[in-house]
A and B are shown apart, each in its own frame.
Chain A
Amino acid sequence: MNKDQESVWIEASQNGDIRAFGKLAQAYQDMIFTLASRLLNNQHDAEDLCQEVLLKIFMTIGQYKATAPFGAWVYRITYNESINRIRKLKRNKESYNIDTNLRENWVETSNVLNDIEEKERKELIVSALNKLPEEDRLLIMGYYFEELPVKELARVTDLSESNIKIKLFRSRKYLYQLLSVPSVKEKLL
């Protein structure tokens, strides 16, 4: 999406133009839905959350200042709404053990995963992501999927930058445990 076009839509939405907001919502709804869906693991809940987030964006778009990318601002709202939803659902935080001595070789994993069908590969990765606690999953999604810098993630989550780095490190290690070549081969058998 063209950034200039996006700025025009944002400004028009801030002046209450619903049609312009529709364009903006269309551009971001897949991102919101993907985050919601990966977080809640439930299509119906994800649709509900996506709708809530879009409405919230419209209600609060007047507060958006162009100092940060709009995508990061949308991510922040999605993150907060998701965390609130999880608290309402009262899901227990999962804990996981990681082998810190494990030497990650994502290139090797990538090569193995690239040899399998796209749908199956996606399922494997998404199911591994689902094993992470929600907050860590959101961080992985924000950092690696949305490519938000750690500084931006710190603003979104109210966590310190060092804390985020630690969480990202742990989550990646844990994902490697789940997606290392032997584990993947075991799952594929």
Chain B
Amino acid sequence: MVSNKQEQAFKDLIQSTGYESSPGSILTSVMDQLEKEKQPSQVKESALIPRWVFVIVLVVLFAFTGFSLHAIQDFYIPGLSNLFQYSWEFDFSLRGLPKLGIGKTSTIIAICALPMMLVQFYFIKKFYERSI
């Protein structure tokens, strides 16, 4: 076991090395960085996804919705509450391929899903632009 006297001698020896003086440039650089971060950015960063892409997406989605609703032959707004009662079918048929049908359920899903998709696009846009 080392005595207190030896322990103190060892401590004094280690402490005799003292602090090394740090270059003044470190603090200057840190302070500059902090000042810069404090000021609001003057440079407007360009958006990762340009605005026109969202316009196109919106136009396509609204066109799709409109077209889907138009497919319900006797569609009228008050009738939306009875949407589930409509029986209609929109067919895609290509020669030699099985007939693809979009039924009323697809339209209902589309109507419900579109706002959700829009919300998702909004958040994706915000995420990539690093504003959330």
Contact = CB atoms under 8 A, between A and B. Distances in A.
Given A47-B23, A106-B9, A172-B2, A25 B30 contact: yes
Contacts of A104: 2, 6, 10
A105 B29 CA distance: 45
A62 to B, nearest CB: 14
Given A55-B30, A125-B14, A125-B16, A33 B6 contact: no
Nearest to A118: B16
Interface in B1-29: 2, 5-7, 9-23, 25-27, 29
Contacts, number: 93
Interface stretch (B32-40, B49-57, B62-70): B32-40
Contacts of A16: 38
Band of interface residues on A: 35 or more
A18 B36 CA distance: 11
Band of interface residues on B: 20 to 34
Contact of A109 (B13, B19, B22): B13
Contacts of B15: 144-145
A54 B26 contact: yes
B6 A54 contact: no
Nearest to B15: A145
**Interface-central residue, A32, A54, A175, by most chain B CB under 10 Å:** A54
Interface of B: 2, 5-7, 9-23, 25-27, 29-31, 33-35, 38
7 closest cross-chain pairs (CB), A and B: A33-B22, A106-B9, A144-B14, A30-B19, A106-B10, A54-B30, A107-B9
